[in-house]
């Protein structure tokens, strides 16, 4: 149910985003997806890759600050209201969402929602109990590769 996400901390300067991505590319590590957020002091590159252990090692050995975070992937119909239905369940269950991002799946009319919950195990139980389809890592990779 949980996926491992790497958060790479970047300086806010031109060209800096390309450096860790080029490094991963040279090692043959393909990104499933990425999300970029920024603060006044630094940026946070959030990535999900199949071989997260190798990606983490490569980045750390090159001097990047990397944090491993557990996230939850939800499969929804890619249509108006798909996300809202999941958020309604989360709201009724009083689940705290720290952040989320989404991307389309290659299967027709499906999307993946990636959530960082304050209490991921509780969130998984509540979402599953409400009939929300959670995506296992291998299922997610198969749906996009």
**2-69 CATH:** 3.30.2130.10
pLDDT band at 105 (very low <50, low <70, confident <90, very high): confident
Q: Residue 67: which H helix or E strand, with range?
A: strand 65-77
Q: Are 89 and 128 in contact (CB under 8 A)?
A: no
Highest CATH level, class, for 71-144: alpha beta
Residue-wise pLDDT for 58-103, tens only, equals 999 999 999 999 999 999 998 999 999 999 999 999 999 999 999 9
* Continuous segment of H or E residues that includes residue 19: helix 18-26
First-to-last alpha carbon distance for the chain, in angstroms, is 19
pLDDT of residue 95: 98
Tokens of 12: 């806010």
Return d(Cα 40, Cα 102) in angstroms, integer: 24
**Residue extent(s) of CATH 3.30.70.260 domains in the chain:** 71-144
The answer to whether residues 95 and 105 touch, using CB atoms and an 8 Å cutoff, is no
User: Among 112, 106, 118, 119, which Cα is nearest to 133's?
Assistant: 112
The pLDDT assigned to 54 comes to: 98
- Tens digit of pLDDT for each residue in 7-40? 999 988 888 889 999 999 999 999 999 999 988 7
* Residue range(s) occupied by CATH 3.30.2130.10 in the chain: 2-69
Q: Which two tokens stand for residue 34?
A: 């990425």
């Amino acid at each position: 149910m949980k996926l491992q996400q790497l958060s790479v901390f970047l300086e806010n300067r031109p060209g800096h985003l390309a450096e860790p991505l080029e490094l991963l590319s040279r090692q043959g590590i393909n990104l499933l997806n990425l999300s970029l957020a920024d603060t006044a002091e630094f940026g946070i590159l959030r990535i999900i890759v199949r071989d997260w252990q190798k990606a983490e090692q490569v980045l750390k050995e090159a001097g990047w600050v990397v944090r491993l975070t557990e996230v939850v992937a939800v499969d929804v119909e890619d249509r108006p209201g798909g996300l809202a239905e999941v958020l309604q369940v989360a709201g009724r269950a009083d689940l705290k969402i720290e952040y989320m991002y989404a991307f389309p799946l290659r299967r027709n009319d499906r999307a993946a929602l990636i959530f960082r919950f304050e209490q991921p195990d509780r969130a998984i139980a509540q979402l599953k109990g409400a009939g929300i389809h959670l995506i296992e890592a291998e299922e997610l990779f198969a749906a996009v590769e």
